[in-house]
Structure 1
Amino acid sequence: MKKPGSPSFTLRPGRWLSPLLLLLLWEAASRTGLIPPRTLAAPSAVIETLAEMIWSGELPSNLLVSFGRVAIGLGIGVSLGIVLALVAGLSRSGEVAIDPLMQIKRAIPVVALAPLFIVWFGIGETPKIALIAFATLFPVYLNLYNGIRGVDVRLVDMGRSFGLGRAQVIGHVLLPGALPSLLVGLRYSLTIAIVMLVIAEQINATAGLGYLVNNARDFMRTDIIVVCLMVYALLGLGADLIVRVIEGRALAWRPSLVEA
């Protein structure tokens, strides 16, 4: 029986069979010359390069820069998304004022704003963080807003019948009811943040994973490119795992998270 609050997924050994087979075929094709090193480095070469970059400190130092960009941009985007969703979800006038603007924002591709952000903020750190923040705002807003509006009105009426005031209804009924939707939005935002990091770090980066990728491209170092792609993937998986753990603990009261 699974304990409440434990992650709601398991790792099955059989799921690793196809990725392992793919790595073996990739290594064999590289060693026989079917895949030239300039096209794609062999897995063994990638692992060797990874070890060298970690040992020299090149990868940890650049990873720290990228992590800082994601953390700041995500923090700004998620915070704004939560505030706007609360205002729009808990107030009719707030909905009229905010939701149309957010729907317009949804229709604008974030990548298309990169040239405008460069004009406004230059080519330093600000446009990179602004792109991540702008991209991660809407998933949190939309899911929390829909979560608040989707709470069963009978629960609200029940709270009022027990003498709860407006603030208590919000704190004890609406927000707990909307929490699952907020966590879904957070998972989407984390994924989008990693994708936008890849794009943002193409803007004149002097450090970070994108900087390593750009330099590796210039020197045809596919091994370094693959290492950076692996790190991007691990960042995404790690972020999703964190949210799953938070979800398991914060929503332990939901029967769906407890196995019989």
Structure 2
Amino acid sequence: MWKGKNSRLINHVLPWLVPVVFIVVWQVLGQAGYIAKNFLPTPLSVVEGGIRLAKTGDLFDYIAVSTGRALIGFLIGGTIGFVLGLLNGTFLLFERLFDTSIQMIRTIPHLALIPLVIIWYGIGEEAKIFLVALGVAFPIYLNTFHGIKNVDKGLLEMGRIYRLKPFQLFTNIILPGALPSILVGVRYALGIMWMSLIVAETIGSDSGIGYMATSAREFVQMDIVILSIILYALLGKLSDYVATLLERRWLQWHPNFFKTRKRSSRKLKRRAL
């Protein structure tokens, strides 16, 4: 009983060990004067700055606006990438028509399109959502496309032998077989989502975390600038955690998933012993 609890405790504590040690070292060096406050404020100063903004309510407004932009852009771009990946991966005609064009567009850095996007949409919400959607679409498309292409041919043949209808073949074999690759694309796209939003919000915005960072930079409020960076990091971590939960829920049937979990739990049990 205790061994199981110890292994679970270690499993939850280990991912946060390096960040906690980093913050402690950062605070000690800052308090000792080895790091100038105007160069890098201490973690306690950053927390105090966050409390000041939280009391006025501005902090939560900034977080809500940025999260809304990120989610809308992710839903739009993710849906487009997923649908294109399904079509091109399933139908050879669609692949021949569209895949080469998509691959050419994919090689263009989406953030390099910022001047063009500003001309099209100005600095309003549409420009930010467009950049996020564009950045998110390609990793989900690629992983969906390759996931479908790499589905076990033996399973497809078995489905045809059992005379599964095309829709049944897709829902019972093709989509489940591609799901691990699709979820990898989702996790990768979530990182690009926040990166795209950071750039979009700092270029021109009147709300959101990027606006908070830009305003703080103009008034040389280094604690708020660092707070903005930390907020983006925490939101990115939260997004990745949600994606991990989806993997655990949707890939319970996958043998490799269970093998990985069993192998890691055995290692943790040995260490706990």
Q: What is the TM-score of this pair, normalised by structure 1? A: 0.92
Equivalences for residues 1-260 of structure 1 within 5 A: 10-13=11-14, 16-258=16-258, 259-260=261-262
Residues 47, 22 of structure 1: CA spacing in aligned structure 2 closer, same or farther, 3 A cutoff?
same
- Following superposition, the deviation at residue 150 of structure 1 comes to 0.4
Q: Could you report, residue by residue, the CA deviation over 1:20-45 in whole angstroms, capped at 9, with x for unpaired residues?
A: 34333322332233322211111111
- Following superposition, the deviation at residue 165 of structure 1 comes to 1.9
Q: Distance in 1 between matches of 2:20 and 2:37?
A: 20
Residues 176, 17 of structure 1: CA spacing in aligned structure 2 closer, same or farther, 3 A cutoff?
closer
Q: Could you report, residue by residue, the CA deviation over 1:62-112 in whole angstroms, capped at 9, with x for unpaired residues?
A: 111101110110010000001101110111110011111111122101111
Q: Distance in 2 between matches of 1:136 and 1:52?
A: 34
Q: Distance in 1 between matches of 2:250 and 2:212?
A: 38
Q: Distance in 1 between matches of 2:156 and 2:17?
A: 50
* Local SS of the residue matching 2:252: coil
- Following superposition, the deviation at residue 16 of structure 1 comes to 4.5
- Following superposition, the deviation at residue 138 of structure 1 comes to 0.4
Q: How many residues align?
A: 253
Q: Distance in 1 between matches of 2:256 and 2:93?
A: 35
Q: Distance in 2 between matches of 1:177 and 1:224?
A: 45
- Tell me the amino acid that sits aligned with residue 48 of structure 1: E
CA RMSD of aligned residues (A): 1.8
Q: Could you report, residue by residue, the CA deviation over 1:167-206 in whole angstroms, capped at 9, with x for unpaired residues?
A: 2211211111111111111011111001111001023200
Q: What is the TM-score of this pair, normalised by structure 2? A: 0.88
Q: Distance in 1 between matches of 2:19 and 2:102?
A: 40
Residues 21, 162 of structure 1: CA spacing in aligned structure 2 closer, same or farther, 3 A cutoff?
closer
- Tell me the amino acid that sits aligned with residue 77 of structure 1: G
Residues 217, 149 of structure 1: CA spacing in aligned structure 2 closer, same or farther, 3 A cutoff?
same
CA contact (8 A) 1:202 1:211 kept: yes
Residues 84, 16 of structure 1: CA spacing in aligned structure 2 closer, same or farther, 3 A cutoff?
closer
Q: Distance in 1 between matches of 2:171 and 2:17?
A: 47
Residues 163, 22 of structure 1: CA spacing in aligned structure 2 closer, same or farther, 3 A cutoff?
closer
- Tell me the amino acid that sits aligned with residue 128 of structure 2: K
CA contact (8 A) 1:128 1:203 kept: no
Aligned counterpart, 1:4: none
Q: Distance in 1 between matches of 2:24 and 2:166?
A: 61
* Local SS of the residue matching 1:12: helix
Q: Distance in 1 between matches of 2:156 and 2:99?
A: 23
Q: Distance in 2 between matches of 1:132 and 1:17?
A: 31
Q: Distance in 2 between matches of 1:16 and 1:80?
A: 35
- Tell me the amino acid that sits aligned with residue 133 of structure 1: A
Structure 1 vs Structure 2: percent identity of aligned residues? 39
Q: Distance in 1 between matches of 2:252 and 2:22?
A: 38
* Local SS of the residue matching 1:87: helix
Residues 103, 39 of structure 1: CA spacing in aligned structure 2 closer, same or farther, 3 A cutoff?
same
Residues 16, 134 of structure 1: CA spacing in aligned structure 2 closer, same or farther, 3 A cutoff?
closer
Q: Distance in 2 between matches of 1:37 and 1:145?
A: 49
